[in-house]
Structures are given as C-alpha cells and as structure tokens.
Amino acid sequence: MLKTTVAGIELEHPIFNAAGPLDATLEELTVLGESHAAAITMKSCTLEAREGNPEPRYQDIPHGSLNSMGLPNLGYKKYIAFAPLLKKYNKPIIASVSGLSLEDNLTIIQALNDAPVDLIEFNLSCPNVIGKPQMGYDPEQTDDVLGKIMHITKKPLGVKLPPYFDFVHFEQIAAILNRNNVRFVTCINAIGNALVIDPEKEQVIIRPKNGFGGLGGAYVKPTALANVRKFSELLNPTIDIVGVGGISSGTDVFEFILAGATAVQIGTTFMKEKHGCFERIEREFNELMAKKGYETIEDVKGNLKTL
C-alpha cells in the first residue's frame, strides 16, 4: 500500500469516497467502513434533516452522471452520533458540512469540535440547493465565512470547491484560502447546471430545476485535473489537495497525483460499481506505480511536465 496524508491525517492509500453517494445512513457508512476505502466520508450535513429534491434526481449517463440531490441527509446530530460507531474500522472519519446559512455552519462546526471525527470538509460548492447560490463563486462571502469558521474550528478543516475556469478566479480564491490557513482543498464538486436530454422521450432526465443538475464522471475529469493543477501552483505548500472528478481507474489516480493531489475521492464510479471500486482502483494504481518504478506518493506528486 502507498500511504499518504491529508492535513496530517495518515491514509493507508490515497483512495476514498466523495461526500454524497451511499454515505447517508449508518448502514451505508458501516459498509464503507468494511470496504477498501481509505477513509469514511460522511454525507454532507445540514442543521436539520432534509429530504432533498424530488425524484428522479440522479441518473447515470454514458460517461458519467447527472444529479440534483438537494442535500438529503439526516441532520448533523445523527452524523455526530454515528462517528464513534465507525471508529472500530480504524480509518479516518471525515465530516462534510453544508449548512444553509453562516449561523448553521458555525453551530455544526462548533459541535464537531467535540466529535470523534478526524477531518472536516466544508462544502462551498453544492450546486443543487434550489434558491441557494454556490458560495465558492462569491469571493467576498467565502472570505468572510471562512474567517469566522477557521476562528472556531479545532479540527483540521478543508473546503470542497466548485470548478473554476478563469485564472483570475483561481488567483482570487487561492489568496483567500491561503489567508485563512485552510488545511486542505477538495476539487472539484460537480459542474453545476448541466442539461441532459432523452431524445426518444423528448424530455429532460431528472425532475428538479426542470432538468438542470450537477455533471459528474468522465465528462468533468479534464476540468478537475486543471483545478487540481492550478491550485497546486497557487496554494501554500502546507495545504493538501484532494482530487475528485471522473476517476475510474488507477491511471486516473496517477494523473491527479501528478497534477498535485495527495489523495482522491470517488463519486460517480462508486455509485455505478459500488464498494468494489476502491480495491480495483487501488490495485491498478499500485501496479502502475510499480511499473514506473515509483515507491511513494511524494515521488510523483506535482511533478507534471510541460512542453
């Protein structure tokens, strides 16, 4: 196994689940604990339980997925209660926080200070809560909220970012992340407000938002790699990067680490293949690393060549 670390927390290997798929209930989290995933990321939680958006709200598509889930979850108190029950798996436990207001986020993160979780991933980037903008696209609000949150957290805290496309935006956000001393960034969340059409039925494929939803899977991998690479160039070296978006093979993992990630999360592939994907992808990654003669993650991380 090729060990790695995120915000000082050691992982047996660099591959685990993204917040969202199959991680909402204690039963789902237990299966994750029993799986080969290197960590257990819990469902993005809000202050109160949420049913989320109306069904159908997730669909597999040929090279990825489209979803508009709307943050269905059991409420943060449930996930705090689940955390000690998951410690027996001896894996890092990651709480994902996605409160609907600053006050909600402060309440949740304050409570997580005393919970047996190892990392907090603060979601700046959910594109599918109707009526709520993505905070990560508002630099002033991001700076303000992060300043208040980093002031109270006692856990290593990172942020899950939306995809960025303009170098100026990368620079603005990186300056805010550096200034607020976040411990890691996860990039990227789904590309928001994509539309997929069923030409036979002549209609959209999901119900919420008249068919608009977050795009995931292979469609977003080039954008995800670009975000990992650009942030690896701009962020303080003390800030780790977790790559996510279109990872379905060991080669994909290798590319993300080459771009600057220390670990990766699996979302769409996890939904499609279920828990066996973690062991398969890690095996493929280990075989590729051995073939290339690399012995550690650090031998590869960030060493992407340019022409």
Active site amino acids: 125-126
User: What is the distance between the alpha carbons of residues 2 and 18, in angstroms, rounded to a whole number?
Assistant: 20
Residue 241: CB partners within 8 Å, gap ≥ 6? 184, 185, 186, 187, 228, 231, 232, 235, 260, 261, 262
Residue 184: CB partners within 8 Å, gap ≥ 6? 6, 7, 119, 156, 158, 159, 239, 240, 241, 242
Q: Which residue has the tokens 């609907």?
A: 100
Strand pairing partners for 265? Answer: 16, 244
Residues in the chain: 307
Answer yes or no: are the C-beta atoms of 284 and 249 closer than 8 Å: yes
Token pair for 137: 């696209």
Strand pairing partners for 97? Answer: 45, 122
User: What is the distance between the alpha carbons of residues 14 and 91, in angstroms, rounded to a whole number?
Assistant: 12
Answer yes or no: are the C-beta atoms of 10 and 62 closer than 8 Å: no
Answer yes or no: are the C-beta atoms of 220 and 214 closer than 8 Å: no
User: What is the distance between the alpha carbons of residues 307 and 292, in angstroms, rounded to a whole number?
Assistant: 20
What's the farthest any 2 CA atoms get from each other in the chain?
Answer: 53
